[in-house]
Amino acid sequence: MAEWRHPDWLGVDMKRWVLLVVGVVLGLLGLLWTLQGGGVITGSGMSGQRQWFLIGLIALVVGIALVVSQARRRAGRRSG
């Protein structure tokens, strides 16, 4: 009996979607942490803390980079 195997492109496409979702979530968390660390959002222990402002900025930049890189790969794949 033949064994069913998923197409190779399916795994690659799924990896891109996962990285895109991770990038969006990381970017949103980074934005939240940046705003809390900067004192814009108050009411938590993170509010007004410089370390959370910097951690948030790093997470925001990494999240944006992931989203942009996955969007470019998808756009390049369509036109290519």
Structure tokens at 59: 């997470």
* pLDDT tens-place string over residues 60-78: 999 999 999 988 876 655 5
CB proximity list for 50: less than 8 A, separation 6 or greater = 37
* pLDDT tens-place string over residues 14-33: 788 889 999 999 999 999 99
